[in-house]
Structure 1
Amino acid sequence: MNSHVPMPSMGVLYLSEGSQKFQLTRHAPSEDLRFFVKHYWIVTWDLTGQPPYLQDVFPNPCVNLVIEPGKSGIFGPAKAKFSYLLQGQGCVFGVKFKPGGFYPFLRRQVTGLSEHPIPIRDVFDVDAAQAERDILSRKEERQMVELAEGFLRPKLPGKDETITLINDIIDRIRDETDITRVDHIAECFGLSVRKLQRLFHQYVGVSPKWVIQLYRLHNAAEAAERGRQPDWLKLSMDLGYHDQSHFIKDFKAATGKTPEEYARRNA
């Protein structure tokens, strides 16, 4: 797999297996778009004469603008594992905005995009079908990126420093694995729990509690992938689950497997 930006901590599940079926590249945005855009991603595959392949993607707290034949749109943070069926030959192009980075383009609460994606034309002056033809027909990936940046730039908003705050908060959640409660992260940044929740619903589209749980579940999944056996009971208690069954349900929603099934697959 090639990459032009550092790999994020969350993304494709079972990547070593999937990389035999498709190619995933990521490209850094131009300087003027870097405040809002995390990276561009491109998935290509050629399974001609081979069985279809179902690839699972771990949820993350980002909005994605997706260019795909007949299915283009703007999608909010997924609240559960997303599965994509790769078959035949194809290409999908995506713009991954930083957490909170899409809000200034949308100018309304991001909450709701997860359940109700919107057409690209609702935000940017571009016809989805034309964008599909223009971008997906290019052989050079840098040309794809330049075309996408061409329709992002005319709508470029002013910088909103709340985005910086939100990304600092999410980076802290990602890096400090002992953070398991909303009041803990709120205290770290001198915010009330209520204000923190309001900011996340407005800018990110999901709750801070969901983001904390997501990263801790991903930490556990990563440990299992590396052959380490997490203490599932301790993790579920640390995250505030009153019984392990609810923890198992959320883990399965995020990965498609129960903790034990996930550990066995990576054994």
Structure 2
Amino acid sequence: MLWPEAGTDVFEAGRLPVPEPLAEVAAYYWWVAWRRGDQTPFRQEVLSHPVTHLTIEAAEGGVLHGLPVPAALVHGLVTRVFTVDLPVAGRVAGVAFHPGGLAALLGRSVGDLTDTVVPAEEVLGGGVGPLAERVLAEDDDAARRDAVVAFLGEVLAPRLEEVRADTGYRTVREAVTLMRAREHVALGQVAERLHVSERTLQRLFVRYVGASPLWVLRRHRLQDAVAALDTGEGQDLAALAASLGFADHAHLTRAFTQVIGVPPSHYRAGR
């Protein structure tokens, strides 16, 4: 079954690990499946992580992201809130790459993929054509995961040693690990820990991630801000701004509003 049967609202989601050696470039397999009981489309909004995805998507009505589905698609890094108008029912199975993982796998920059969703053939070649049919024919997500892993494993095999020897990719991975830690609020701190210059990080992140290292750092701090507000920690917005490395409350408000669409005070109030 491609998506849940008609009835009440259903939204299913989950993750599964990916095996070695694919774990060199891919973080995990994930899926979502949904159906609206009242037969109305709806809008989903997510403050996404700075990574790329290979997805296999199907939906009632045959269109997602303005592209025909079922299809295998590649999602580049999203610099804004990821917004998608979902039809009544559908299913998405995907692999999230490590930051820089897709660039390492392909041996090229992924900067051209930022803020885009494109047919996977444009990125991974013609061999990806049958993948959507193969994945969606499976009955459970473990089997779907295995089908995606098998395909990506074939892509990775001839480049595996190059990926393992790619020092630029390793530097990006290590930098992002540091950026995820809330105590790192300035790019200089990250560069110092890695014994590289900020200019080197800039060059590597543009190639491997598709955004500047400062943007990635700020995205993680904005995610921390959202998480703090969701759990009721952000009553003192000035203190929250300081803890996240923003110069003051106004700088946090400006950055938060630019990405989320409302000031943190409105978000906290549920508006």
Check whether the contact 1:65–1:75 (CA below 8 A) recurs between aligned residues.
yes
Check whether the contact 1:220–1:230 (CA below 8 A) recurs between aligned residues.
no
SS at match of 1:31: coil
Aligned-partner residue type, residue 173 of structure 2:
N
Check whether the contact 2:222–2:256 (CA below 8 A) recurs between aligned residues.
yes
Equivalent position of 1:101 in the other structure: 101
> Does residue 1:61 correspond to 2:50, yes or no?
yes
SS at match of 1:179: coil
Shift of residue 228, structure 1, vs aligned partner: 1.6
Shift of residue 230, structure 1, vs aligned partner: 5.1
> Does residue 1:216 correspond to 2:217, yes or no?
no
CA–CA distance in 2 between the matches of 1:120 and 1:34?
20
Check whether the contact 1:81–1:253 (CA below 8 A) recurs between aligned residues.
no
Aligned-partner residue type, residue 106 of structure 1:
L
CA–CA distance in 1 between the matches of 2:195 and 2:57?
42
Aligned-partner residue type, residue 187 of structure 1:
E
Q: TM-score, normalised by structure 1?
A: 0.81
CA–CA distance in 1 between the matches of 2:188 and 2:133?
48
> Does residue 1:163 correspond to 2:169, yes or no?
yes
- Gap change, CA 1:153 and 1:124, over 3 Å in 2: farther
- Gap change, CA 1:179 and 1:230, over 3 Å in 2: farther
CA–CA distance in 1 between the matches of 2:20 and 2:192?
33
Shift of residue 171, structure 1, vs aligned partner: 1.4
SS at match of 2:269: helix
Q: Return 5+ residue gaps in structure 1 as ranges.
A: 1-19
1:135-150 correspondence to structure 2 within 5 Å: 135-150=135-150
CA–CA distance in 2 between the matches of 1:94 and 1:134?
14
- Gap change, CA 1:91 and 1:144, over 3 Å in 2: same
Q: Would you say how many aligned residue pairs link Structure 1 and Structure 2?
A: 244
CA–CA distance in 2 between the matches of 1:225 and 1:261?
12
- Gap change, CA 1:254 and 1:22, over 3 Å in 2: farther
- Gap change, CA 1:243 and 1:229, over 3 Å in 2: closer
Check whether the contact 2:234–2:240 (CA below 8 A) recurs between aligned residues.
no
Check whether the contact 2:25–2:97 (CA below 8 A) recurs between aligned residues.
yes
Q: Which one of the candidate residues 36, 39, 50 is aligned to 1:47?
A: 36
Check whether the contact 2:10–2:37 (CA below 8 A) recurs between aligned residues.
no
- Gap change, CA 1:235 and 1:208, over 3 Å in 2: farther
CA–CA distance in 2 between the matches of 1:63 and 1:79?
12
Shift of residue 217, structure 1, vs aligned partner: 1.0
Aligned-partner residue type, residue 205 of structure 2:
F
Check whether the contact 2:131–2:151 (CA below 8 A) recurs between aligned residues.
no
CA–CA distance in 1 between the matches of 2:108 and 2:12?
35
Larger CA deviation: 252-261 vs 177-186? 252-261
CA–CA distance in 2 between the matches of 1:166 and 1:86?
33
Q: Return 5+ residue gaps in structure 2 as ranges.
A: 1-8, 59-67
Equivalent position of 1:202 in the other structure: 207
CA–CA distance in 1 between the matches of 2:170 and 2:216?
16
Aligned-partner residue type, residue 59 of structure 1:
S
Aligned-pair Cα RMSD in Å:
2.4
Shift of residue 99, structure 1, vs aligned partner: 0.4
Check whether the contact 1:223–1:230 (CA below 8 A) recurs between aligned residues.
no
Larger CA deviation: 109-118 vs 219-228? 109-118
CA–CA distance in 2 between the matches of 1:155 and 1:132?
16
CA–CA distance in 2 between the matches of 1:250 and 1:265?
18
Looking at secondary structure, tell me which structure has more strand per residue. 2
CA–CA distance in 2 between the matches of 1:103 and 1:230?
40
> Does residue 1:173 correspond to 2:179, yes or no?
yes
CA–CA distance in 2 between the matches of 1:21 and 1:180?
39
Shift of residue 74, structure 1, vs aligned partner: 1.3
Larger CA deviation: 217-226 vs 40-49? 40-49
Q: TM-score, normalised by structure 2?
A: 0.80
Equivalent position of 1:188 in the other structure: 193
Check whether the contact 1:37–1:101 (CA below 8 A) recurs between aligned residues.
yes
